[in-house]
Amino acid sequence: MLTNRHWKRFDRTLLGLTLTLSMIGVVAIYSANMQSDLIFVRELYIKQVYWILISIVAMSFAATIDYAFIERMAFPLYILGVGLLILVTFIGKVGGGSQRWLSLGWIDFQPSEIMKVILVIILARVFNDIKKRDPINAFDLIRPIGFLVVPFFLVAQQPDLGTAIIYVVIFIGLVGFVRVQTKLMSFLSIFLLAVTPLTWFLLKPYQKDRIIGLLNPEEDPMGRGYHIIQSKIAIGSGGMWGKGIFEGTQSKLNFLPAKHTDFIFSVYAEEVGFIGAIVLISLFCSMALRFQNIIKYSEDKFACLVVVGLGAMIIFNFVYNIGMALGLLPIVGIPLPFMSYGGSALITNFICIGLAINVSIGRKRLV
C-alpha cells in the first residue's frame, strides 16, 4: 500500500523527530543502567531497541490504514479495549502494587496504554457525529462522558492514576477544541476548580505523601521527599554543559530512583546539562508544532479530532513528566514519551505518530 505518493506527502519531520527522541531515549536508558549488577537491567536498552522496531511496524500500519475504516471500527475497538481492561482486573499481573499487565507469555502488555488511542478514536467519532450544533451544548456531552467514565474507573482502580489522568486530559483537550457553549464552559471550569480540592479525600495515603513531599521535600529527605530531592540534585548537578554522556553519578550509583522510566529526563539532564535540556525541549516543541500543522491542514473533522486528542495526550505526557522531574508537579507514573523505558507506552506513542502521519498524507488527495 505504501506508494511513492505516500512517501512524498507525509510529514517526514514528525517521523524524524520521533526517531531522534527514541534514539536519545535508548542512550539515556543505557547510561542509566550501565553500572547495574544485573545483566537483565544492564541490557534493558537492547529490549527498548526491539520495542522501537516493533513500534515502527505498528506505526507504519497506523499510517497507511484508511482512517475511514478506523472511524467505522471505533465501537468494536472500544468494546475490545474495555474488555481487555476488565480482563486485567481479573487475571492481570501485579507489579509495583498495581494490577496493570496482561501476560502474553513472552511479553507483558498494558491494555490501559492502547486504550488511550482507542479512547481518542471513540471520542473523535462521537464528537464528529454531532453535526447539528457548533458549539455543542450540555446534552451533547453526555455520550462522550459515558465513554470516558468506564475506562477511567477501570484504570483508576488498578490503581494507575497517571493513565486515568491522561484519559481525562484527552477528553478535556477534545472538548476544548470542539467547543461547548460559553455558559456551559464557564460552569464546567468553575465546577472543575471546585471539585479538584475535594479529590484530596479520595487519594490514598501514598498519593497524599507525594503531594506533601512536593511542597516540602526536605522535611522528609529519606522518605516522601527522596525522589524529588534526588531528581533535583541530578538535574542541578549537571550545570550548563552536564557531566558528560555516561558520566552521571546520581543515576549510576542508584541515588536516582525509577531512573530508566519516570525519571529518564533527570538522567539526561545530569549528563548533558542545560544545553541538552534546551535541545530536548526544542525537539518536543517542534513535535507540538507539527501536530498543530497537521490539525490545520487535515481534511475532515474526524481525522482532525483524532490528531487533536493524540497531540493533547503526548504534549501533556511530556510537560507533566518533566514538571515532575523538576519538582514542580506531584509524582505520578507518567512516562516521558518516546524516551522512558516501556514497550506498551512506546507502541502506543508510535501508533499516535502513525495516525498523525496518516492524516498528514490525506485521504482525498491520495485518490
Partner 1 sequence: MPSPKTKWEQFIAKRTANIAYFSALLGIIMMVLLLRIWYLQIIEHSYLLSRAENNRLREVYLDGHRGLILDRNGLVLVTNRPAFELSMIPEDMNEPKNTLEFLQKSVEFNMNDVLKSIKNVATFKKVVIKSDISRDEVAFVEENRLELPGVSLQIVSTRNYNYGNFASHLLGYLGPITAKQLARVIKKQHSRNDFVGQTGVERAFEKSLKGRKGLRVLEVDAAGRVIKVLKRISPIGGTNIQLTIDYETQKMAEESLKGKAGAIVAMDPNNGDVLAFASSPSFDPNIFSNGISAKNWSRLLKSGFHPLQNRVTQGQYPPGSTHKIVTAIAGLEEGVFDKNTLVNCPGYFKLGRKTFRCWKEVGHGSMDMKSALIQSCDVYFYTLGLKLGVDRIAKYARMVGFGSSSNFKVGTERKGLVPTIEWKEKVRKKPWVLGETVVNSIGQGYNLVTPIQQVRMVAAVANGGKMVEPKIIIKDVDLNNEKGEREHNSLLPFSKESMQFISESLRGVVEAPRGTAWRINKGSFGYAGKTGTAQVVRRKDIEPENIEDIKYKYRDHAWFVGYGPIENSEISVAVVVEHAGHGGTVAAPIAKKVMDAYLNSPYTVIQRSAGSKNRSNTIRLVDDTANN
CA–CA gap between residue 282 and residue 289 (Å, rounded): 10
Buried b / exposed e over 160-188, threshold 16 CB at 10 Å, is bbbbbbbbebbbebbbebbebeeebeeee
- In the region spanning residues 267 to 326, those forming contacts with partner 1, defined by CB under 8 A, are 269, 273-274, 277-278, 281, 285, 288-289, 292, 295-296, 298-301, 304, 315, 319, 322-323, 326
- 135 preceded by cis ω (within 30°)? yes
Whole-angstrom CA distances from 197 to 90, 191, 203, 252 are 32, 11, 11, 38
Under rule CB under 8 A, residue 244 binds partner 1: no
Under rule CB under 8 A, residue 208 binds partner 1: no
Scanning the structure block, which residue is given the C-alpha cell 543505557?
30
Under rule CB under 8 A, residue 246 binds partner 1: no
CA–CA gap between residue 316 and residue 165 (Å, rounded): 10
Under rule CB under 8 A, residue 172 binds partner 1: no
- Contact characters 248-267, partner 1, x per CB under 8 A: -xx--xxx------------
Q: How far is the CB of 304 from partner 1 (least distance, A)?
A: 7
The number of angstroms, rounded, from the C-alpha of 48 to the middle of its chain's C-alpha atoms is: 16
Under rule CB under 8 A, residue 237 binds partner 1: yes
Strand partners, 326: none
Under rule CB under 8 A, residue 83 binds partner 1: no
Cell of 362: 490525506
Contacts of 17 (CB under 8 A, 6+ apart): 283, 286, 287, 290
- In the region spanning residues 129 to 168, those forming contacts with partner 1, defined by CB under 8 A, are 131, 134
- Contact characters 2-41, partner 1, x per CB under 8 A: ---------------------------------x------
**Contact pick of 179, 190, 219, 247 for partner 1 (by CB under 8 A):** 179
CA–CA gap between residue 278 and residue 33 (Å, rounded): 24
**Under the rule (CB under 8 A), what is the footprint of partner 1?**
35, 131, 134, 176-177, 179, 230, 232-240, 249-250, 253-255, 269, 273-274, 277-278, 281, 285, 288-289, 292, 295-296, 298-301, 304, 315, 319, 322-323, 326-328
